[in-house]
Amino acid sequence: MIDWINERVGRSVMWLVLIAVVISAGNALVRKLFNTSSNALLEIQWYLFAAMFMLAAGYTFLRNEHVRIDIITSRLSPRGQNIVDVIGILLFMLPMAVLILWLSWPIVMASIASGEVSQNYGGLIRWPVKLLLPLGLGLLVLQAVSELIKRIAFLTGHGPNPLRKKSAGGGTEELVAAIKASSGKGAGREGGQ
């Protein structure tokens, strides 16, 4: 269920990239053509970027596309890699995400209660963008629990290796493999001539 939620949220958030680009291009055109701009349009771009980043964190973890430092873990067996992940999730990710979520909630509530608005002329209300922090961290915490369950299942022999990247339809690995395949064919032809 957690994977399903983050999959749907992540796929929906992808559309925010297009919306942000359209707003950004429109704002740039209006600024160049009419020598005017809107603080609300600038701020909505920031809000959309924050939404993309925060709401897709759980999706990124689900897809195993988050940033990793694989210098040490790449030398470990799949079992060793999963043990490192279990330790990392339990000792670092979950405590950090829960703590920030806990600390951010009073700030969001204060912003809602005060009706906080941007200090910029024509700016937007602030609570929606502040609400993205606990929402995004909540999705990330849920995904961390899901990933922890998957890793423990793998370690106990009850599931597949969750560290295999799940392709979202255009993964880097597939592109690299295609380039290597085509350059290998080209090198073979040149070498044979």
Whole-number Å distance between alpha carbons of 106 and 76:
42
Whole-number Å distance between alpha carbons of 73 and 75:
5
114-140 pLDDT per residue, tens: 999 888 888 898 999 999 999 999 999
Whole-number Å distance between alpha carbons of 116 and 125:
6
Q: CA neighbours within 13 Å on the CB side: how many for 14?
A: 9
**Length of the chain in residues, anyone?**
193
Q: pLDDT category, 180, cuts 50, 70, 90?
A: confident
Judge whether residue 178 has pLDDT over 50. yes
Q: One-letter amino acid identity for 188?
A: G
67-102 pLDDT per residue, tens: 777 787 888 898 998 999 999 999 999 999 999 999
Please, what sign has the CA dihedral across residues 7, 18, 47, 61? positive
Please, what sign has the CA dihedral across residues 30, 31, 34, 40? positive
Rounded to the nearest 10 degrees, what angle do helices 127-155 and 78-88 cross at? Answer: 140
20-79 pLDDT per residue, tens: 999 999 988 988 899 888 888 889 999 999 999 999 999 999 998 887 777 878 888 989
Place of tokens 């210098």: 71
Judge whether residue 172 has pLDDT over 70. no
